[in-house]
């Protein structure tokens, strides 16, 4: 956003088109209309302007935008043109108004002292930049911008100011024989605090496989750390100063707690965020998913959840068709509309856009189980657990493993996985349903009876009519599940 504002000021003698902005500010990267609009709005807010007033940044219909304010550059000491002194303060103000955080991945240092290993350390950095760019939560500096600091001893704060970012990811690569050690650190460039650090030791049997694996592991670890840091910033703001990004961050802090009360609190904050910014893709995506998850947990009726979720998910996809979260949200909405073919297609898109998206892998596994494709469903759930072993939504993944075992007629395993899901979340209605059905099919009527009582406790609305009308199993799997619930005593 800082680069955008500077570019508009430097070209204040003309109307700047969308193509000009993409070529000069985003270095030719694909940028959605909603992202472009949100960044222009953020630039306006940073200088006290608005889309209604347009006192400084004016939109020219069908042509672009133009900076129309007076510009004066002053040096701290002389009052003449020049300066770096107030620059940091201006960047700090502007950074605070970003609609999403910005991060730069610095070239990893080749600590081996072997010139021929330079390609490997550079490859790690480039893979991380590519993978982070797929997440869409963050603005990621392009490779050429970050690599301008390669081999230079530049203070962290200076790099952050020059690039206009709030976070820096750096690291080193040390090779010894056929082993490699890679370290990575995520730093808050404003405070100088280290937010996260990790070390990875690997055998170099396949160089490119190791690069892919390490880049994926680092990105999966960094994403939640950035969101936590942004939530801390949002919590420090007074309620009257919250923008759409702040509201989203506060919502996520509730969303990841995975309780009925927190899910409702997240939805309320997300509704405020989309009211402030009706085209806010990420807020619409999380809002949609929160409703379908509420239906899965038995906290909301499937019909009402699906209606809200589909509406929000479609806004998200239209706003940013390259955002994997928006396709996850749409896929889950399709499930509760009974459109499993469409759900599979949307999941495929989400995972193509971000192959490391653990939540999409887990939910994808559930739909595969509904189709009877239990092996693939189990693999998807295990992949989700591998990517995010401490995921608060891990309860879903164990629930999918339970469904997969039930479809495979491995009722002992289904009981085991259901109990693990219930151990993590005692109110997980889906796991109680599978436990009840698996116990009945295994002939353990006593366990089925007890499980059914617990199911009725966490899902008072449960009935055979609900099972037949809401669970989207297909073919023989559907008949088997209905038979099992009847056998357990459900009416």
Q: What is the pLDDT of residue 93?
A: 38
Q: What is the pLDDT of residue 30?
A: 67
Instruction: Give the 3-state secondary structure of residue 454.
Output: helix
Q: What is the pLDDT of residue 196?
A: 92
Per residue in 179-203, pLDDT (tens digit) is 889 999 999 987 888 999 999 998 8
- The torsion angles phi and psi of 130, rounded to 5 degrees, stand at -60, -45
Q: What is the pLDDT of residue 91?
A: 45
pLDDT confidence tier of residue 266, bands split at 50, 70 and 90: very high
Q: Does the pLDDT at position 486 exceed 90?
A: yes
Q: What is the pLDDT of residue 241?
A: 66
Q: What is the dihedral of CA 94, 270, 218, 328, to 10 degrees?
A: -130
Q: Does the pLDDT at position 418 exceed 70?
A: yes
Q: Does the pLDDT at position 402 exceed 90?
A: yes
Q: Count other Cβ atoms within 10 Å, centred on residue 150.
A: 14
Q: Does the pLDDT at position 172 exceed 90?
A: yes
Across the range 330-350, mean pLDDT stands at: 93
143/91: higher pLDDT: 143
Across the range 136-144, mean pLDDT stands at: 84
122/297: higher pLDDT: 122
With vertex at residue 145, the alpha carbon angle to CA 139 and CA 146, rounded to the nearest 5 degrees, is: 85
Least confident range of 222-236, 286-300, 301-315, 412-426: 222-236
Across the range 350-366, mean pLDDT stands at: 93
Q: Distance (Å, rounded) from C-alpha 340 to C-alpha 433?
A: 20
Q: Does the pLDDT at position 75 exceed 50?
A: no
437/459: higher pLDDT: 437
Q: What is the pLDDT of residue 119?
A: 84
Burial class from Cβ neighbours inside 10 Å (0-12, 13-18, 19+) for residue 268 reads exposed
Q: Which tokens hold the place of 110?
A: 């080749």
Q: Count other Cβ atoms within 10 Å, centred on residue 149.
A: 18
| Domains assigned to the chain | 2-83 (1.10.10.10), 102-210 (3.40.50.10610), 237-344 (1.25.40.10), 362-491 (1.25.40.10)
Per residue in 229-246, pLDDT (tens digit) is 888 878 877 776 678 888
Q: Does the pLDDT at position 410 exceed 50?
A: yes
pLDDT confidence tier of residue 81, bands split at 50, 70 and 90: very low
Closest to 56 measured CA to CA, from 64, 422, 306, 65:
65
Average model confidence (pLDDT) across the chain: 85
168/89: higher pLDDT: 168
Count the residues in the chain.
491
Q: What is the pLDDT of residue 27?
A: 72
Q: Distance (Å, rounded) from C-alpha 266 to C-alpha 245?
A: 13
pLDDT confidence tier of residue 265, bands split at 50, 70 and 90: very high
Q: DSSP secondary-structure letter at 239?
A: G
Q: Does the pLDDT at position 98 exceed 50?
A: no
Across the range 73-84, mean pLDDT stands at: 43
Across the range 335-354, mean pLDDT stands at: 92
Q: Is 54 left (phi over 0), alpha (psi -120 to 50) or beta?
A: left
């Amino acid at each position: 956003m800082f680069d955008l504002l500077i570019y508009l000021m430097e070209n204040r003698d003309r109307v700047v088109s969308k193509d000009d902005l993409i070529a000069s500010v985003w270095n030719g990267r694909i940028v959605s209309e909603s992202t472009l609009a949100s960044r222009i709005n953020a630039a306006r807010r940073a200088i006290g302007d608005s889309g209604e007033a347009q006192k400084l940044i004016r939109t020219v219909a069908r042509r672009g935008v133009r900076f129309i304010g007076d510009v004066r550059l002053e040096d701290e000491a002389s009052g003449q043109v020049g300066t770096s002194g107030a620059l940091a303060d201006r960047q700090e103000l502007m950074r605070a108004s970003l609609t999403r955080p910005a991060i730069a991945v610095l070239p990893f240092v080749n600590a081996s002292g072997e010139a021929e290993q330079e390609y490997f350390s550079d490859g790690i950095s480039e893979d991380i930049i590519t993978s982070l760019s797929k997440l869409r939560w963050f603005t990621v500096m392009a490779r050429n911008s970050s690599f301008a600091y390669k081999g230079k001893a530049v203070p962290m704060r200076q790099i952050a100011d020059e690039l206009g970012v709030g976070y820096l990811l750096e690291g080193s690569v040390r090779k010894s024989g056929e082993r490699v050690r890679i370290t990575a650190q995520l730093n808050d460039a404003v405070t100088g605090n280290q937010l996260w650090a990790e070390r990875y030791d690997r055998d170099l049997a396949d160089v490119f496989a190791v690069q892919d694996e390490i880049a994926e592991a680092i990105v999966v670890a960094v994403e939640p750390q950035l969101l936590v840091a942004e939530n801390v910033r949002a919590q420090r703001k007074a309620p009257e100063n919250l923008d759409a990004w702040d509201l989203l961050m506060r919502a996520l802090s509730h969303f990841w707690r995975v309780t009925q009360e927190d899910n409702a609190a997240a939805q309320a904050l997300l509704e405020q965020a989309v009211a402030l910014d009706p085209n806010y893709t990420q807020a619409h995506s999380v809002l949609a998913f929160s409703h379908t998850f509420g239906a899965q947990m038995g906290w909301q009726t499937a019909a009402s959840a699906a209606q809200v979720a589909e509406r929000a998910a479609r806004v998200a996809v239209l706003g940013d068709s390259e955002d994997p979260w928006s396709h996850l949200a749409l896929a889950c909405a399709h499930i509760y509309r009974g459109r499993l073919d469409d759900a599979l297609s949307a999941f495929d898109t989400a995972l193509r856009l971000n192959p490391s998206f653990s939540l999409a892998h887990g939910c994808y596994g559930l739909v595969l189980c509904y189709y009877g494709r239990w092996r693939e469903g189990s693999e998807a759930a295990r992949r989700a657990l591998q990517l995010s072993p401490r995921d608060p939504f891990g309860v879903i993944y164990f629930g999918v493993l339970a469904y997969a075992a039930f479809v495979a007629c491995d009722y002992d395993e289904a009981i085991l996985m259901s109990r693990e899901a219930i151990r993590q979340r005692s109110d997980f209605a889906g796991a109680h349903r599978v436990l009840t059905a698996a116990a009945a099919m295994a002939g353990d009527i006593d366990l089925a009876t007890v499980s059914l009582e617990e199911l009725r406790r966490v899902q008072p609305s449960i009935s055979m009519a609900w099972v037949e009308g809401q669970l989207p199993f297909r073919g023989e799997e559907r008949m088997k599940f209905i038979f099992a619930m009847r056998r357990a005593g459900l009416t």
